[in-house]
Structures are given as structure tokens and as C-alpha cells.
């Protein structure tokens, strides 16, 4: 028989449970009363509550119908019995003849022999199963769908009562595992160098429902419908390019829209509300089910869809709370930001003074988050599988961006070891600070010019502190990526003028907009591309939309005001592209002069060598340029056909392999033959070992993230350039595989500080 009406009518059962759990008396008495109420209402001969202990065992905490002597005695090890099966699957188990199920585990002390019908549902908290609620009957039957639905709602209320502080955590609940609490060590990839220890802060932490049960289901249904409609309209607008998330890809937004309009998702929410939950509680319940089920999936695509659903649920909760935009976050002084992934604007929304580290479940070293973290010198580790499910808000965590690891809830001895390492690191930083004003000369007298990569206003504040001799790469697109609309002429001019003012006569090289590919702007329409990295981006976009590029060039010329202006174009793949881009610069300079506006004292125009095609056309390109700069990030990903933003293939090549080093050697030789100034501004310039190899190849201008200048300068001061040249040249002869270990051995043999 169906018991749905008992719950779905006046919802008296849910209120009775809430009153029983919130009442006075010992915890055990309250749990006993709760299972008695559930058994009576569900017309079940047995109702049992199992909770997870810290050991992972599921312990019988309360029962109506089984032997009372089995309470706190019966324990099922992880994966044992039908209860263990429910924990493993994180979904209900509905059986007509439980004793004959392969997973059935007979425990004589419980006295459950005569019971055949079995229905068990998980108690979910944050996607984790913290317990199991079971009802049983003697007769062989399958429980109806509405009964399963009812028991899931009851389990949600119980989970919130047990884990949400409604019951004292002492006594029987002292060792119940509500959230992960054991020390864990996760291996990832370092995105931004450094060490940090602090308190976990979840990025866009969901708004926790303050009330689970509603007094007016009709009103809650109306609230839910309004919020869902607003969410759908918001996502539709994103797709149309009217509003949006900075850096969100077309595919992600399409997935959002698909899920937001999904009838099954909407139906699940409505059913939960009609059963007596508030709209917020309904969202949390559906979220927990998705997290528990999809989190177990082996298929990477299904796990990725879970992340989409997470974001969707968070957005819906914010609509229900009346907050449709970003929420100002109050951070602890030692905040460690935890996220699945971050866009460039996301990090900038947090207080830099309190943000000590970042841990990401996804991302890559070349992702926007990695670039911004390095620019801000915030230790960052990414590609930490399962991070979000293993951590809770407020947990203590270590960001080890030297080894690429994260320590969750670390033991005291691990913290003590970290303190010692941080002290050593502080000594190294002090050493770098002492070297700030020391010119970077090799031991045999070679001058190496160390420049800084920048792109954020905050970078300018540390230019003088780094000891850099200028800005070798200013990424102008960051101003566009963190804005909600296209920056106007005055806004661009003010930024560029400020950069030149802070540089105070030191050279600054502005890279024109490098948009497209993975750098999508919400206010610029872009067609969907099968391969964005090889698509309509960078100089291609600028030449096809000359008004956008000319506006930027005009702002750069206006900002120079009698000073030297250095402009370079990204991803030039042919000589014709550079010729057309340079013509635009000449046109804008002439335009300013005709109107009597201050012109730069000198204009130098360069090209970024990122497309391998240019390596075989340098004889035609170099005479047309005033300088070139090598963007090793893109050049190497194109050479090795390995997307640097894709975690699965980002490590498929090594910059210290023969193909990469020989290509760099060829470019340097061509520039030397023509007298063309050349610099390296990719990530490898900021790593001491790779910089050692570049110097050995003949490069003397290196541009890098701020944090790389100290370590690279120390390396330069300890390096004999001629000995390095002979050693690396010898290694390249006949080499077949990566030379990383050989180059490192050479550096140590030459006593180079790497």
C-alpha cells in the first residue's frame, strides 16, 4: 500500500520528526522517537537509522522493530551488506526479498530474519553519505515510488538535523563523521610557486538554507518558479552575449542552458517543494543526489556534467536569496581559496591582503587563473582530483606549490615541517631582495636583461620591488577580460599612461589584444569553433576588426606623449599579417600628428614569434621588424600539437627537448645575423633551469612573472655563459629524448644556482 498521502497532505510527519529531534532529553531518546514516528507513518514493521563513524563503519544508531540490544553493537564495515551497497551507490535500494540479495549480510543480533521487503535511502550531506535510513516489512513487495520519495525527504531532514547542529555532537554522536576530517594529501600540479598555510574558503560557496520545512507549499512553489525563470532568462542572455561570466566558454553556457531548461531537473525541484520543503532545501536535496550519484561515475564526461550542475544549483540558490550578482566575501586573514576552476576576474574579486593561496580541482599552468596567480605571487596548485568533495569550509589546508601538493587538515608534524620550509623560503626571498639592485651579469661578463611580464594594475605596484629593468610583456587584454563592457578610449589611454608613468623611463612593450581562443569576452560575439586555439584570435581578430585594433593603437599613441612606444602583435603567422598590422600603426601615428596631438618620440613595432610558420620565414620578417619576442607558451604547444590548457596533454612535451631547443637556437641565430633585438617572454624564461638553457643558446633579454626575477638573477650571477653554451651545444648533438636531466646535471657541474 502507498503511504504518500500521510506525508504529502499536512506534512505532519516532517513536523513530528523535527519536533522530536529538537526536543529535550538525551540524544539517543530523540533518535529512538524519530524512528518510531517514521515506522508508524510509513506503516513499516522496522525502521532503522545507521550513521557513519570516523572509521568508515556504518553503525546502527536507532531502530524500531529490530532488537534494541543491537543498537551501537551492529557495525558494518565499508561496503558491507545492503547498507554498504547504499553507501557505495549513494542512491536508494528497493528490494522485495532482501535476504536473497548478493550483498545481504546476516547479523543474528538484530533479529531481522523474518523481514523481506527492504527500502534504504542515503543520508546525504554535501554530496557525502553520512548515514542510511531503512524501512522493512515481512511481506515480499516493492515499495512504491512515492514511498521512496517520502523516505528520501525524511532522510534529508534527518541528515540536516544530525549534521547541522540540531543535536549535540557529544555522547553517541561524538565520533560520527559529518564531514571529511582525516588528514589527506592530494597530488596536483603547481601553477604558481610558493607555500601557504591557512583556512579553506570555498569559491562561490552555496547559500545554506536556513529553513528546511515550509508552512506554505504553494508560496514556495511560486518562489521556485520565479527563481528558475529568472535563472533561465539569465543564462539565455549569456548565450546571446548580452551579459555573462568572464571567460566562460560557449560550450559551458550551452550546457547551463540545457540543464536549466531540463524538465527532469525542474520536476525534481517541484516534487521536493510540494512534499513540504522550502525552495532552498529542495535545491540542496536535488544537488546532494546529483553529487552523490555522478561523483561516483567513471565516465569523465558525466563527472564534468556534475560540475555544471553544481554551478547551476549555486546560481539558483543566489536567485532565491535575491542576490543575482557577485557577493562581497569576508575572508579570514589566512584565506586559501578552493574552487573547481577560476577565471581571471574571479581572483581579483578577493582581498589580496588576505588571500594567501589557491587550490583548484582543474585548470592548467597556462590557464588564466595560473597566469594571474603568478602575477600576484599567490601560491597555486591545480588539477587536484576530487578536491571539492574532500574539503569543507573552514578546514585548515597547506598549499605546497613547490611540490604541487595540497595537504587537507594536516597533522601537526606536517605543519611544523612546512613552517621550517617557509622559514628557508623567507631567507631566499631576503637574498633575492638584496640582489634587487645588482646588475644581472654572468661570471664571464655577459649582460642579461631581466624584464617583467604584467597585465594587471596590481603588477605596477611591485615593478620597482622586483629589480626588473622594464616590462617585457604587458598583456593588454586583461583590462578587457575583467570589464563588463568594451573599455572606452579614455579608459584604455589612462591605463597605458599609468603603466608608462610607473615604468619611469624603463622600456615597456605592449602586446596588442590577444583575444579569442579560450579568452572569450561576454560583450563580443564569436562564432563557435571546433579548434579555438587555431581559430579566430589575436592578430587575426584585430585585422578582421580593424576598428577595435585601431582604437587600441590610438589609445597607446595618446598615452605615450613624447615617450618611446613599443608595440608588438601576437600570433603573427605570416609576413603579410605583420605588414598589414604595421601599416595600421603608421596610419594612426600619422592621424595623431595631422591633428597636432602629442606623438611618441619613437615608435618600435615588433612581432611575437608563436606560430612555427615564422621560423622558416624569418629572412623576410626580421628586416620589417624593430624587434621580436618569442612566446614560448604558444610556440611550443603548436610545435608539439599539444594544447597547453588541456590537462591530459599539457605535459606531453618538454621545453628542454631537442626540437624545442633547436627551434629556439635557430630563431636566436637568425636574429643575431640580422641584428634584430630578440627576447623570450614565455613561462620558461622565469624558471632558472630553463633560463640557463636560454642563456646558453645566446638569449640575453628574458621577460618573466615577477616571482621569477629573483631566482633567475641568482642563477645568472652564478653562471659562466660560455661554458653553458659549450655544454648545451654538446648535449644537442645526437640527442633523441628530453634533455632536462642532462641540462640539470650540466648546471650543477658548473655550480649554477638553479
pLDDT tens digits along 157-178? 888 777 765 555 556 666 666 6
355: number of Cβ within 10 Å = 22
307 is catalytic: no
Mean pLDDT, residues 225-231: 86
Question: Of residues 368, 380, 671, 701, which has the active-site annotation?
Answer: 368
The residue among 665 and 487 whose pLDDT is bigger is: 665
Tell me: pLDDT of 246 over 70. no
Band of pLDDT at residue 596, cut at 50, 70 and 90: confident
Band of pLDDT at residue 263, cut at 50, 70 and 90: confident
727 vs 535, 665, 697, CA distance in Å? 39, 14, 10
681 is catalytic: yes
Dihedral over Cα of 55, 110, 64, 105: its sign: positive
Tell me: pLDDT of 669 over 80. yes
Question: Of residues 47, 380, 681, 719, which has the active-site annotation?
Answer: 681
Q: How many whole angstroms separate alpha carbon 564 and alpha carbon 560?
A: 7
pLDDT number for residue 506: 93
387: number of Cβ within 10 Å = 24
| 8-12, 187-191, 637-641, 715-719: least confidently modelled range | 8-12
Band of pLDDT at residue 528, cut at 50, 70 and 90: low
Band of pLDDT at residue 541, cut at 50, 70 and 90: confident
Average pLDDT over the chain reads: 83
Mean pLDDT, residues 423-434: 84
User: At 626, is the secondary structure helix, strand, or coil?
Assistant: coil
Question: Could you give the percent of the chain with pLDDT greater than 70?
Answer: 82
Mean pLDDT, residues 36-50: 92
pLDDT digits (tens, 9 = 90+) for 73-106: 999 988 899 999 998 888 899 999 999 999 998 8
Band of pLDDT at residue 251, cut at 50, 70 and 90: very low
Helix (H) or strand (E) holding 227: helix 217-239
Mean pLDDT, residues 715-744: 93
Grid coordinates 605596484 are at which residue?
461
**What's the pTM value of the predicted model, to 2 decimals?**
0.61
639: number of Cβ within 10 Å = 17
Find residue 131's DSSP bridge partners.
51, 123
pLDDT number for residue 299: 45
Domains of the chain: 4-173 (3.30.450.40), 184-206+328-425 (3.50.30.10), 217-321 (1.10.274.10), 442-702 (3.20.20.60)
Find residue 197's DSSP bridge partners.
398
Mean pLDDT, residues 369-374: 77
pLDDT number for residue 128: 73
Q: How many whole angstroms separate alpha carbon 696 and alpha carbon 724?
A: 5
Contact indicator for 639, 660 with CB cutoff of 8 Å: yes
Side by side, which strands form the sheet with 58-64? 75-76, 58-64, 46-52, 128-137, 117-125, 93-95
Mean pLDDT, residues 524-540: 71
Tell me: pLDDT of 6 over 60. no
The residue among 283 and 208 whose pLDDT is bigger is: 283
Those residues whose C-beta lies under 8 Å from the C-beta of residue 692, and which sit 6 or more positions away, are: 715, 719, 724, 743, 747, 752, 754
Tell me: pLDDT of 441 over 70. yes
Amino acid at each position: 500500500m502507498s503511504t504518500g498521502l500521510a506525508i504529502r497532505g499536512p506534512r505532519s510527519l516532517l513536523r513530528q520528526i523535527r519536533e522530536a529531534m529538537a526536543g529535550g532529553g538525551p540524544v539517543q531518546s530523540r533518535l529512538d522517537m524519530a524512528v518510531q514516528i517514521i515506522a508508524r507513518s510509513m506503516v513499516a514493521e522496522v525502521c532503522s537509522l545507521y550513521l557513519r563513524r570516523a572509521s568508515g563503519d556504518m553503525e546502527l544508531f536507532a531502530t524500531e522493530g529490530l532488537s534494541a540490544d543491537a543498537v551501537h553493537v551492529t557495525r558494518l564495515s565499508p561496503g558491507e551488506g545492503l547498507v554498504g551497497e547504499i553507501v557505495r551507490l549513494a542512491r536508494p535500494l528497493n528490494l522485495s526479498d532482501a535476504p536473497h540479495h548478493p550483498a545481504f549480510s546476516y547479523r543474528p543480533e538484530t533479529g531481522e530474519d523474518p523481514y523481506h521487503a527492504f527500502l534504504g535511502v542515503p543520508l546525504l550531506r554535501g554530496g557525502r553519505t553520512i548515514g542510511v535510513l531503512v524501512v522493512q516489512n515481512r511481506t515480499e513487495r516493492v515499495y512504491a515510488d512515492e514511498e521512496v520519495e517520502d523516505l528520501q525527504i525524511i532522510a534529508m531532514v534527518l541528515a540536516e538535523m544530525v549534521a547541522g547542529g540540531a543535536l549535540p555532537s557529544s555522547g553517541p554522536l561524538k565520533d560520527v563523521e559529518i564531514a571529511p576530517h582525516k588528514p589527506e594529501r592530494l597530488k596536483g600540479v603547481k601553477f604558481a610557486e610558493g607555500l601557504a598555510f591557512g583556512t579553506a574558503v570555498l569559491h562561490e560557496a552555496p547559500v545554506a538554507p536556513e529553513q528546511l520545512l515550509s508552512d506554505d507549499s504553494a508560496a514556495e512553489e511560486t518562489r521556485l518558479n520565479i527563481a528558475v525563470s529568472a535563472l533561465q532568462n539569465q543564462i539565455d542572455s549569456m548565450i546571446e552575449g548580452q551579459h555573462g561570466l568572464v571567460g566562460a566558454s560557449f560550450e559551458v553556457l550551452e550546457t547551463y542552458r540545457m540543464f536549466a531548461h531540463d524538465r527532469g531537473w525542474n520536476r525534481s525541484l517541484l516534487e521536493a517543494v510540494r512534499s513540504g520543503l522550502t525552495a532552498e532545501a529542495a535545491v540542496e536535496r536535488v544537488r546532494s543526489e546529483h553529487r552523490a550519484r555522478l561523483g561516483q561515475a567513471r565516465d569523465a564526461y558525466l563527472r564534468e556534467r556534475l560540475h555544471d550542475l553544481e554551478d547551476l544549483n549555486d546560481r539558483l540558490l543566489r536567485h532565491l536569496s535575491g542576490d543575482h550578482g557577485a557577493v562581497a566575501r569576508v575572508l579570514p586573514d589566512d584565506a586559501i581559496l578552493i574552487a573547481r576552476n577560476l577565471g581571471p576576474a574571479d581572483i581579483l574579486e578577493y582581498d589580496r591582503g588576505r588571500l594567501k593561496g589557491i587550490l583548484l580541482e582543474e585548470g592548467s599552468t597556462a590557464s588564466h587563473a595560473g597566469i594571474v596567480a603568478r602575477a600576484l605571487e599567490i601560491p597555486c596548485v591545480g588539477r587536484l582530483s576530487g578536491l571539492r568533495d574532500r574539503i569543507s569550509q573552514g578546514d585548515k589546508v597547506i598549499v605546497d606549490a613547490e611540490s604541487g601538493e595540497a595537504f587537507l587538515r594536516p597533522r601537526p608534524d606536517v605543519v611544523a615541517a612546512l613552517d621550517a620550509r617557509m622559514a628557508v623560503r623567507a631567507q631566499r626571498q631576503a637574498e633575492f631582495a638584496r640582489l634587487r639592485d645588482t646588475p644581472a651579469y654572468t661570471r664571464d661578463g655577459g649582460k642579461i636583461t631581466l624584464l617583467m611580464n604584467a597585465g594587471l594594475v596590481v603588477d605596477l605596484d611591485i615593478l620597482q620591488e622586483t629589480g626588473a629593468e622594464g616590462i617585457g610583456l604587458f598583456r593588454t587584454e586583461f583590462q578587457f577580460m575583467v570589464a563588463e563592457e568594451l573599455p572606452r578610449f579614455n579608459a584604455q589611454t589612462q591605463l597605458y599612461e599609468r603603466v608608462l608613468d610607473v615604468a619611469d623611463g624603463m622600456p615597456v612593450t605592449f602586446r596588442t589584444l590577444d583575444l579569442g581562443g579560450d579568452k572569450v569576452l561576454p560583450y563580443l560575439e564569436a562564432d563557435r569553433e571546433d579548434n579555438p586555439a587555431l581559430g579566430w584570435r589575436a592578430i587575426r581578430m584585430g585585422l578582421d576588426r580593424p576598428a577595435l585594433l585601431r582604437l587600441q593603437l590610438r589609445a597607446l599613441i595618446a598615452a605615450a606623449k613624447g615617450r618611446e612606444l613599443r608595440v608588438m602583435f601576437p600570433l603573427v603567422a605570416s609576413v603579410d599579417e605583420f605588414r598589414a598590422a604595421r601599416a595600421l600603426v603608421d596610419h594612426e601615428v600619422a592621424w595623431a600628428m595631422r591633428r597636432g596631438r602629442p606623438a611618441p618620440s619613437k615608435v618600435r613595432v615588433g612581432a611575437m614569434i608563436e606560430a612555427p610558420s615564422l621560423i622558416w620565414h624569418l629572412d623576410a620578417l626580421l628586416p620589417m621588424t624593430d624587434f621580436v619576442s618569442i612566446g614560448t607558451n604558444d610556440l611550443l604547444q603548436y610545435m608539439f600539437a599539444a594544447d597547453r590548457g588541456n590537462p591530459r596533454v599539457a605535459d606531453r612535451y618538454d621545453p628542454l627537448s631537442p626540437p624545442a631547443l633547436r627551434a629556439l637556437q635557430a630563431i636566436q641565430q637568425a636574429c643575431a645575423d640580422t641584428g634584430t633585438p630578440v627576447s623570450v617572454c614565455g613561462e620558461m624564461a622565469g624558471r632558472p633551469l630553463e633560463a640557463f638553457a636560454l642563456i646558453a643558446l645566446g638569449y640575453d633579454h628574458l621577460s618573466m612573472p615577477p616571482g621569477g626575477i629573483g631566482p633567475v638573477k641568482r642563477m645568472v650571477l652564478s653562471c659562466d655563459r660560455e661554458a653553458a653554451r659549450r655544454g648545451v651545444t654538446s648535449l644537442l648533438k645526437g640527442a633523441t629524448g628530453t634533455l632536462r636531466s642532462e641540462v640539470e646535471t650540466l648546471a650543477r657541474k658548473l655550480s649554477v644556482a638553479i
